[in-house]
Amino acid sequence: MSTAPIGIFDSGIGGLTVAGAIRKLLPNESTVYFGDTARVPYGPKSPDTVRRYAREILAWLLQQDVKAVVVACNTVTAHALDELRERSPVPVIGVIEPGARAAVSATATGVVGVIGTAGTVASGAYRIALQKIRPDVRVMEQACPLLVPLVEEGWFDHEATRLIADEYLQPLRRHGIDVLVLGCTHYPMLKSLLHRVVGDDVRLIDSAAETAGELAHVLNEMGIAAPANSAPTQRWVASDDAARFAKVGAVFMGGSPAPVELVDLGQVKEASSTRESSTTA
């Protein structure tokens, strides 16, 4: 048992859907969410740049004495998960593997659709993860760059959103997918609209919920889940523009904006391979 917090991070606010799923599934756990709003978005950045940013954030989270780290960002998971796991003394959970496992379990036709940002699709991370579990699965990927800004505008149920989703998803439907992985942390906010667009025959896989399930599994297996009588706390931290983070965060998490702390990562040294040296750096 441990009351230490879970560290969750994303390039911005999208990972809040993962934080929300964790809060729902594991209400006794304390969390520290870090959104790197000063450097969002990571998608168009080079893998080396993304890895450097991820190491800096890992170092900062370890300074907060987290007992596990959830990489609530598809771009970071695609480029940096292995390196973060090597450097971290605590377990590191990404958003790709849990969704891929759920998709392989759910498909009957063996044709799986994946939607994500341009960066995630270009990385081929879901295709690799899916075919590692089941080599003969056919993966149809589609980049949907307009869905993130539509979510951030709050246009969850707008006719323009439906038109755009329809245009993106038509080719996947023609290929006979029976499962669609929402491969971007923003997309769970569009779940009901996407469900209407693809129809009842296509099962949607919500990576945020699957990742929360994987975290629960790891905490239990390692015996570090919080006790039932814990008094959990939630910290929200951003590297820039706390006001916008609080506003969009409230749309994502429901309820009114919570106080957001501002942290300048310029002062944080990179994570080294042991917790001791990174917390004293």
115 binds a second copy, rule: CB under 8 A: no
Q: Which of 146, 161, 226, 229 is nearest to 194 (CA)?
A: 161
Q: At what angle do helices 207-222 and 96-106 cross, to 10 degrees?
A: 110
Given the rule CB under 8 A, which of 37-45, 91-99, 191-199, 268-276 is the region that contacts a second copy? 37-45
173 binds a second copy, rule: CB under 8 A: no
Options 167, 201, 221, 261; binder of a second copy; rule CB under 8 A: 167
39 binds a second copy, rule: CB under 8 A: yes
User: How far is 132 from 261, CA to CA, in rounded Å?
Assistant: 39
Burial grade of 27 (CB within 10 A; 0-12, 13-18, 19 or more): exposed
Q: How far is the CB of 48 from a second copy (least distance, A)?
A: 9
Given the rule CB under 8 A, which of 124-132, 152-160, 199-207, 220-228 is the region that contacts a second copy? 152-160
146 binds a second copy, rule: CB under 8 A: yes
125: helix, coil or strand? helix
Give 14's DSSP letter: T
44 binds a second copy, rule: CB under 8 A: yes
Tokens standing for residue 42:
């990571």
What are φ and ψ of residue 114, in 5° steps?
A: -135, 130
- Sequence-ordered strand ranges (E) for the chain: 6-10, 31-35, 68-71, 92-93, 111-116, 138-143, 179-182, 203-206, 234-238, 261-262
Please, which of residues 212-241 interact with a second copy by CB under 8 A? 240-241
Burial grade of 103 (CB within 10 A; 0-12, 13-18, 19 or more): buried
| Closer residue to a second copy, CB minimum distance, 6 or 155 | 155
49 binds a second copy, rule: CB under 8 A: yes
Q: What is the separation of C-alpha 262 from the centre of its chain, rounded to a whole number of angstroms? A: 21
Q: Indicate if 144 belongs to the active site.
A: no
Angle at 49 between CA 124 and CA 213, to 5 degrees: 55
Q: How far is the CB of 149 from a second copy (least distance, A)?
A: 5
Given the rule CB under 8 A, which of 15-23, 66-74, 125-133, 143-151 is the region that contacts a second copy? 143-151
Options 93, 129, 164, 197; binder of a second copy; rule CB under 8 A: 164
27 binds a second copy, rule: CB under 8 A: no
Q: Give the active site residue among 125, 177, 184, 237.
A: 184
45 binds a second copy, rule: CB under 8 A: yes
Options 23, 138, 191, 244; binder of a second copy; rule CB under 8 A: 244
Contact 58, 82 (CB under 8 A): no
157 binds a second copy, rule: CB under 8 A: no
Indicate which residues carry an active-site annotation: 73, 184
**Residues binding a second copy (CB under 8 A):** 37-40, 44-46, 49, 145-146, 148-150, 152-153, 155, 158-160, 163-164, 167, 240-241, 244
